């Protein structure tokens, strides 16, 4: 059973208020299921909505933030735990290490980079943890299409596509997490 989830998401709110509502609902749902939330430590945008949702519902939330972002005042001050790293690479690694699984909400290039790293590690056998792309309002449809194209053109194995779930709602996402079995990684010759 998943006890700790790392959620990757935007530090901006996006143009649709619905994104923040979904982030807040995800935080609340994780708290109700006693799943510890790990995220980027920010107090703004989807990050802030997610963490505040979890905290308001009595959840445990660990933020992982860099010294630079802390100096800029980007952190949410009411977290259960705040870990500070020296740089973004250490921050991302710490968020990965703490997780039993990953969920990606809408976000920008940082979110995309985080998704790409944990996903690419599946192909190498370095990540046996489930990955859910929470496809809020079809936000990630083009990413799903790109992964399909990679598969169809021989650059991505079928097993990889089964290791990542594109989910339209939270029930789907949590069901995938609960039943996930990591694919065997390919041995390269």
Task: Dump strand ranges (E) for the chain.
Answer: 4-8, 36-39, 61-66, 81-85, 101-104, 131-134, 164-167
CA dist., res. 148 & res. 184, Å (int) = 19
For 108-124, what is the mean pLDDT?
87
pLDDT band at 133 (very low <50, low <70, confident <90, very high): very high
pLDDT band at 180 (very low <50, low <70, confident <90, very high): confident
Q: At what angle do helices 109-124 and 88-98 cross, to 10 degrees?
A: 60
In the predicted model, is pLDDT for residue 185 greater than 70? no
In the predicted model, is pLDDT for residue 189 greater than 50? no
For residue 160, what pLDDT is reported? 82
For residue 157, what pLDDT is reported? 85
For 104, which DSSP code?
Answer: E
pLDDT band at 76 (very low <50, low <70, confident <90, very high): very high
Q: How many other C-beta atoms lie within 10 A of the C-beta of residue 38? A: 24
Fold of 4-179: Rossmann fold (3.40.50)
Domain boundaries, the chain: 4-179
Q: How many other C-beta atoms lie within 10 A of the C-beta of residue 84? A: 18
Q: Which long-range contacts (CB under 8 A, 24 or more apart) does 135-143 make?
A: 135/166, 135/167, 135/168, 136/18, 136/19, 136/22, 136/105, 136/106, 137/16, 137/18, 137/19, 139/106, 140/104, 140/106, 140/166, 143/112, 143/115
Which range has the worst mean pLDDT, 9-18, 26-35, 152-161? 152-161
Closest CA relative to residue 33, chosen from 50, 57, 63:
57
Closest CA relative to residue 132, chosen from 160, 165, 178:
165
């Amino acid at each position: 059973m998943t006890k700790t989830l790392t959620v990757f998401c935007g530090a901006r709110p996006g143009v649709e208020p619905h994104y923040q509502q979904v982030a807040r609902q995800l935080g609340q749902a994780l708290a109700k299921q006693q799943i510890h939330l790990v995220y980027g430590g920010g107090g703004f945008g989807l990050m802030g909505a997610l963490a505040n949702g979890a905290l308001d519902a009595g959840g445990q939330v660990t933020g992982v933030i860099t010294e630079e972002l802390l100096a800029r005042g980007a952190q949410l001050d009411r977290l259960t735990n705040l870990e500070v790293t020296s740089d973004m690479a250490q921050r991302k690694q710490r968020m990965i290490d703490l997780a039993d699984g990953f969920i990606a909400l809408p976000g920008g290039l940082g979110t995309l980079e985080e998704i790409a790293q944990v996903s690419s590690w599946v192909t190498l056998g370095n990540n046996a943890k489930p990955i859910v792309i929470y496809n809020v309002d079809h936000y990630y449809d083009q990413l799903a299409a790109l992964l399909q194209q990679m598969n169809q053109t021989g650059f991505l194995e079928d097993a990889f596509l089964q290791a990542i779930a594109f989910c339209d709602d939270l029930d789907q996402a949590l069901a995938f997490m609960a039943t996930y079995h990591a694919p065997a990684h390919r041995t390269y010759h």
